[in-house]
Amino acid sequence: VRNASVRIFVQLLVASGEQLMQSSWGIVLKAAPISLLRDYLKALQNSKNERASLEATSAYLTEGTTKLIREHMKSITMDPSFGDVWRGMVEIFEAEMRLHSPKMYALAFDGLSALLEALSGVDIDRQEFVKDSLRLWASHPLPVSDGEPDKPNQAAIASHAAMFDVAYQTSSTAVQG
């Protein structure tokens, strides 16, 4: 039931994104999906019994929020609070990486890459956003596989490397600096 509710919620946001005013994006994103993600990730950190279910819900919500932001990046960046939205997503991605799950690690870097790629198509100064991403990239160099050798982390390593490439494409100046 929880996952179905989250799917409907995300689909509703994606479908109604065109109707939002540019100045309301920050409020909507911080109050709804970013806040929900923080709650799910906090529950995931404290849960042992529902870990798989909470991880699936968090993953779907992260993917949906990333898709929403990607599809409406031009409007969202015009909201004066875009910097707060960006930092909120970076915090979400970092919390996912701290779960020490190769799946969540890959999800976080794939999401960050997707947002950087969308950002590259917007006419704004992208250096600070890329620098935020690079700080996260540098502070989480290798995914941890929970000490379980049967959990492959190749996807996580590939996502980590790909994010650096997308960061360079988005702002080579920020990467070189």
**Higher-confidence position of 149 and 46:** 46
Q: Check residue 15 and give its pLDDT.
A: 85
Report pLDDT digits (tens) over 67-86.
Answer: 999 999 999 999 999 999 99
Report pLDDT digits (tens) over 31-51.
Answer: 989 999 999 999 999 888 888
Lowest-pLDDT range of 64-68, 79-83, 120-124, 154-158: 154-158
**Higher-confidence position of 17 and 89:** 89
> Does residue 146 register a pLDDT over 80?
no
Using CB atoms within 10 A of its CB, is residue 47 exposed (0-12), middle (13-18) or buried (19+)? Answer: middle
